[in-house]
Structure 1
């Protein structure tokens, strides 16, 4: 099964849309945010969806409401819809063959994107990095075209995995709640050996004193971009997207699917929040991108073992700042609780009194900071200045 052919794209009234062929879910791509709208969703009205999309994108609600309503009504008026061209490209493409989209079925997946809740259908990191906020629909195709390494889709863990030159990049479960399944699997296979553990939507790097610095944020906020920059400049990656934390010892245990991102594998860097889907923003002099939507990298330090638990040093909540500011401030305990819940936390069992107390103690005892950054270079300098790296 070729997961890269599960979507088709088109333009409609100056907006970009990505259509999931199997379910009929619509992904609206515009500005600095992207979100799925399920054709069969009942949890949110169209006006609620439009208001949330408008707020996230900074676009006039009336424009979004008119556009999105018209587009959904166009599809809802039919039991099927045939796409014959990749309209985002403006021409027929060999990667997108004619197909008919069945609009009578569909998933009912409840998910959070950038802290906003929607009924959506989504794939995991290698695909959702462009689905959620960071890539244009052509990114994965471009990745396949531009790299000479061997990339293929393999069956793995009841879902799908992307394998690159023999290294597993990411799990891509084929249906339902991706984050729920991914982190549930992570906790089952890794967190089960710890009495009280949680899964955190976060990236982490090794500090100079061999501790773990965690970056937790919703998708599209720039945590992967920043942690990747740090890993390319001396701080080895402990993993991206999903990490297990033992609440008793405060040890960070990397998720194997993320850990295997290291030696020899590749990944694609996202845009963060600058609102452009046409190019990658510059993160430093060596990685200034061309007009292509993806950029490949190899970890600079291939000697680190990324499966060894590390003590958590601090928790950073990063967010890319398009206004050009780079600043950091300490957070109080209440802020940390709320931000972790927005970023995404998964429990390995039904919360018990002991687990709840362990979680409270972990959050209360953890140094935590809000980091707004416009430059990965400046962010790194600031973290070094505060002795966090």
Structure 2
């Protein structure tokens, strides 16, 4: 015996009545944006994330230049792992907190900065855009954050210092095989008033950056049939390069060759911890060591009295499959966090990444690629935009976490969902 389904009353289908809209209903919907006559402003109006700036940068620069910034060593495994580590962060928000006003500032290397963000040292910056290091230094000064000038910079350190004399500027150093040349640079940086010296230690030799090798990248770019053909694709970049001050390494008297050849000339595989003592005798300011990738090395550096270390695998551009800085951070903080400041780089692309690094114990994060994308996209205004994106995302993430001040952040607000060991 079966039971019959109850009958459902079928209602007639009614269609909405249509009518002509009234002008008073349409006019409030009509919004005309004023035209933007500045080409850079028009481009940046559509850049809402660092990834948007990356897309713009790719369109504005020759492939070899973009790949130099965007690429990493060998199979580019390290940079991929670094990004995944930040993606694996889990935030732990608290609700019913007053976040109507938030304070994003932080103490970094003994002074207050507007964000726990440092613009990292990058080489060949005028190759990315003819405004180069001067544009980056000015943008950092306006934003109230530190900028570290590279030994491989294309503007001399005195000019960079003079363009923003009250800003926080650091000088990054490779200890060259020619120690007298290194000592001369140290003396110039001290005389110019740089706040800190950042010694990079993960470069006994240059990494195998396959994109650069395949592209045949030279400094300055050479005019081959390939590059001449590329001029038609990126005429504005070439016009700016050819009609402004010739590209040169401000720290070298002259150089004409590939990036790999330059690395072979500058990097010294004989550098040891003993060289820190030599450096300490000559540098009167604060000393930061960049390229630390183990707890043991962190302890050694603390024993030698450095003010800060940077957990870094050089943006994945040196040893591929090197430790991922974010995964190493909590353990290094536990080991030496009370004895020196710890900064981090590699893989930081958003304000949320920046906040995660701070919550896990870093005093600040260094970024290179993000602001270079902005520089390539729109010069100085593009660097401004990159910093603005970080600040906006950072403050928004603070509010969503229920945190009103950077100083409140701790490991209770963020955690790594997976560690490298758990993945393996």
Establish whether TM, by shorter chain, passes 0.5. Answer: no
RCO comparison, higher one (Cα < 8 Å, 6+): 2
TM-score range, shorter chain: under 0.3
Larger radius of gyration between Structure 1 and Structure 2: 2
TM-score under structure 2 length normalisation: 0.25
User: Which structure carries more helix by proportion?
Assistant: 2
